[in-house]
Chains A and B, each alone.
Chain A
């Protein structure tokens, strides 16, 4: 019971946000894909049928009218804007390619649920479809920026000896939180472990960003299930060997290379800072309006 009480207005905002953005139109798949690979490479499945059916399911969802949460007659509602923070200009497909984001694990490690996101398999290595990755990444970054705009508590999670330090640094520079150590079982769900900390005062995070869904090489991170139980939205970088089903905003991409992790850290940082900057802008402008009114 008390766990539910720690959800702030942000998560209500989050669910409204998620509903509102289902109505954007997908870009059709073009010969962009062929640009990067040899012509001899065969895609995993005949591209036309299954990809189109995937597109159809997304496009057929109806537009949902969202009630305006912020009553501002002077300013436009950020929720109704398709890209309020200009997040789509942060990254291109070429950046993703240079950062080796398209490399998945080997064919044997593949999780069947990741099939829709894979372009194909080359010499035993799964390759992500970067067009699809980019769309998911845009959605995730947009959501992240909106949450930062609404002063959410964002927790960056990555249990990796190599990259833990980079993620902690990212959190420090954003002004958000990080957890790159061994996950204590029941951090979110067990009220007996955290009686002083989480009772009457401190909130649970509103958003968890997983830079890798794995805990060790074998196991899935425990925090994913805890987030789902407690109702915390998640963004997750899903490699080809993980199960992306519970993640709110999956981003099918490589989570093992140093370059790809560095790229994602910089992107997340930029998105969060964009959201916070807009917040300050709006607060300052409203203050100036107030002072103007008072003087008059």
Chain B
């Protein structure tokens, strides 16, 4: 009895950091129980390091009877309680080192495939329930069916009954960025944007290679070739890069840096060697169709082709008839343009599409227009004008829009694109000035 009690007294002395202390638990269950309670009651007076290990020993079931359970104080750091608490939390943290791995194992590929099969079967059954064809039962139909079968007035949408595909429910596999020892795979990991900076590094590698190649060619006496033609393409936008190339968002600054780096590569002579690399970051220019409807060429009585089109600007509406093989005559509401539009600025507006494309005297225009402001500008704005007359800028703008939409049928796609960039086609309809 006495022999058993004395080692415990050692524990109560919190100054004994470096001593190896052993606690013997005997056979008798009652005695064990008493000892445990006694130790636990006094545990808070000990330092944290010993506490953890003592707890682990005492709270474990007493299966290893007659075996001495020794508590070894392994590491002496300091006497501060605060630091001891930190160390205890550190040791707990270390045990969770493979947390990422554990998470991944939970959603193994077989498990997810099983879930996908279940989902597909469920969708077919749902279709049968609703009396629809299971093969053509789309995701939208599934949503509607669930809403019908399980009506819910819950305000929070995620709380409502749902039937989503497993790829939405289970998060995509988090790519392990490090091996078991905690060493990252990518050599630029600590920059926090390894993929992007890796690409910039590659681009600079290409630039250096082209420098040495150009030097060689220059020594041989060869002239540099024409600059690289990238065709009707544009750089990937920031959103595209975030989705396709990287998995994370980037700042505008970083995006601009990236594009300038690749533009530098494009500017190098002989950059055709790395055209494949460059074109990864280019997209084709998409020709946007107008919402004014389909236009068709018609043939008139004198055999000349013409196109009817509508144009608008502010509240003005114009019906424009553009006739090919003309001589540059423009008639508006039955009158020649010079009579209808007093002010030269309005006439210039009407003629702008022709000047832009360099085809001034090739077409005839017959237009009827109405709407827009029809009062006296001078009176309204109270300004002094050097000419007499009324400004009809809305009507002029409407006719211009009509002409530029109609003229698309007579010119090439590249020229249409150039007109679009000039702001003649894509016009946002403003009701109010």
Instruction: Say whether A associates with B.
Output: yes
Is the beta-carbon distance between B204 and A201 smaller than 8 angstroms?
no
The answer, yes or no, to whether A99 is at the interface (CB within 8 Å) is no
Selected from A2, A151, A202, the residue in CB contact (under 8 A) with B93 is A2
Within B46-103, which residues are at the interface with A (CB < 8 Å)?
A: 86, 89-90, 93-94, 96-101
Measured CA separation A244–B55 after assembly (Å): 47
The winner among B89, B101, B184, B191 for most chain A CB atoms within 10 A is: B191
Chain A contacts for B184, CB-based, 8 A: 153, 177, 202
11 contacts across the A-B interface (CB closer than 8 A): A1-B89, A5-B94, A8-B182, A168-B188, A181-B193, A193-B192, A197-B189, A200-B93, A201-B97, A201-B98, A205-B190
Is the beta-carbon distance between A199 and B201 smaller than 8 angstroms?
no
Is the beta-carbon distance between A200 and B97 smaller than 8 angstroms?
yes
Given the contacts A197-B177, A201-B182, A179 and B190 also touching, CB distance less than 8 Å: yes
Is the beta-carbon distance between B96 and A200 smaller than 8 angstroms?
yes
- The 10 A-B residue pairs with the shortest CB-CB distance, nearest first, are A203-B182, A200-B99, A202-B178, A5-B90, A5-B93, A201-B100, A200-B96, A1-B86, A181-B191, A171-B187
**In the complex, how many residues of chain A place their beta carbon closer than 8 angstroms to a beta carbon of chain B?**
31
Is the beta-carbon distance between A151 and B190 smaller than 8 angstroms?
no
The answer, yes or no, to whether A4 is at the interface (CB within 8 Å) is yes
Measured CA separation A184–B100 after assembly (Å): 24
The answer, yes or no, to whether B363 is at the interface (CB within 8 Å) is no
Is the beta-carbon distance between B93 and A203 smaller than 8 angstroms?
no
The answer, yes or no, to whether B197 is at the interface (CB within 8 Å) is yes
Is the beta-carbon distance between A165 and B201 smaller than 8 angstroms?
yes
The answer, yes or no, to whether A178 is at the interface (CB within 8 Å) is yes
The answer, yes or no, to whether A21 is at the interface (CB within 8 Å) is no
Measured CA separation A8–B181 after assembly (Å): 10
When C-beta atoms are compared, the residue in chain B nearest to A7 turns out to be B90
Min CB distance A123 to B, Å, is: 34
If A181-B191, A199-B99 are given as contacts, then 8 extra A-B residue pairs at C-beta distance below 8 Å, sorted by A number, are: A1-B89, A5-B93, A6-B182, A175-B187, A179-B191, A201-B101, A202-B184, A203-B178
Chain B contacts for A202, CB-based, 8 A: 177-178, 182, 184, 189
Within A1-54, which residues are at the interface with B (CB < 8 Å)?
A: 1-2, 4-6, 8
When C-beta atoms are compared, the residue in chain B nearest to A194 turns out to be B192
When C-beta atoms are compared, the residue in chain A nearest to B94 turns out to be A5
Given the contacts A1-B90, A4-B86, A176 and B177 also touching, CB distance less than 8 Å: no
B interface vs A, CB < 8 Å?
86, 89-90, 93-94, 96-101, 174, 176-178, 181-184, 187-193, 197, 201, 204-205, 208
Chain B contacts for A171, CB-based, 8 A: 187
Min CB distance A262 to B, Å, is: 14
Measured CA separation A196–B182 after assembly (Å): 13
When C-beta atoms are compared, the residue in chain A nearest to B178 turns out to be A202
When C-beta atoms are compared, the residue in chain B nearest to A176 turns out to be B187
The answer, yes or no, to whether A172 is at the interface (CB within 8 Å) is yes
Selected from B99, B187, B188, B191, the residue in CB contact (under 8 A) with A201 is B99
Min CB distance A136 to B, Å, is: 26
Measured CA separation A201–B180 after assembly (Å): 7
Is the beta-carbon distance between B94 and A172 smaller than 8 angstroms?
no
Within A130-175, which residues are at the interface with B (CB < 8 Å)?
A: 151, 153, 155, 165, 168, 171-172, 175
Measured CA separation A179–B208 after assembly (Å): 20
Selected from B89, B100, B181, B190, the residue in CB contact (under 8 A) with A177 is B190
Measured CA separation A203–B205 after assembly (Å): 29
Is the beta-carbon distance between A178 and B187 smaller than 8 angstroms?
yes
Chain A contacts for B181, CB-based, 8 A: 151, 203
Chain A contacts for B197, CB-based, 8 A: 181
Chain B contacts for A176, CB-based, 8 A: 187
Is the beta-carbon distance between A179 and B188 smaller than 8 angstroms?
yes
Measured CA separation A217–B176 after assembly (Å): 38
Chain A contacts for B89, CB-based, 8 A: 1-2
Min CB distance B252 to A, Å, is: 14
Min CB distance A173 to B, Å, is: 10
The answer, yes or no, to whether A187 is at the interface (CB within 8 Å) is yes
When C-beta atoms are compared, the residue in chain A nearest to B180 turns out to be A201
Measured CA separation A171–B197 after assembly (Å): 14
When C-beta atoms are compared, the residue in chain A nearest to B102 turns out to be A200
Measured CA separation A216–B408 after assembly (Å): 54
Min CB distance A120 to B, Å, is: 38
Selected from A2, A5, A177, the residue in CB contact (under 8 A) with B187 is A177
Min CB distance B429 to A, Å, is: 44
Measured CA separation A242–B89 after assembly (Å): 38
Given the contacts A2-B93, A179-B190, A197-B177, A203 and B183 also touching, CB distance less than 8 Å: yes
Min CB distance A273 to B, Å, is: 15
The winner among B190, B192, B201 for most chain A CB atoms within 10 A is: B190
Measured CA separation A193–B197 after assembly (Å): 19
Min CB distance A130 to B, Å, is: 31
Chain B contacts for A175, CB-based, 8 A: 187
Min CB distance B412 to A, Å, is: 44
Chain A contacts for B177, CB-based, 8 A: 197, 201-202
Measured CA separation A201–B104 after assembly (Å): 13
Chain A contacts for B90, CB-based, 8 A: 1-2, 4-5
Chain A contacts for B94, CB-based, 8 A: 5
Chain A contacts for B190, CB-based, 8 A: 155, 177, 179, 187, 205
Is the beta-carbon distance between B204 and A200 smaller than 8 angstroms?
no
Is the beta-carbon distance between A178 and B99 smaller than 8 angstroms?
no
Is the beta-carbon distance between A200 and B201 smaller than 8 angstroms?
no
Chain A contacts for B93, CB-based, 8 A: 1-2, 5, 200
Is the beta-carbon distance between B192 and A153 smaller than 8 angstroms?
no
Measured CA separation A13–B237 after assembly (Å): 48
Chain A contacts for B205, CB-based, 8 A: 165
Measured CA separation A178–B177 after assembly (Å): 16
When C-beta atoms are compared, the residue in chain A nearest to B193 turns out to be A181
Chain A contacts for B100, CB-based, 8 A: 200-201
When C-beta atoms are compared, the residue in chain A nearest to B189 turns out to be A177
Measured CA separation A194–B177 after assembly (Å): 13
Chain A contacts for B201, CB-based, 8 A: 165, 168
Measured CA separation A185–B187 after assembly (Å): 20
The winner among A171, A175, A177 for most chain B CB atoms within 10 A is: A177
When C-beta atoms are compared, the residue in chain A nearest to B89 turns out to be A1
Min CB distance A166 to B, Å, is: 10
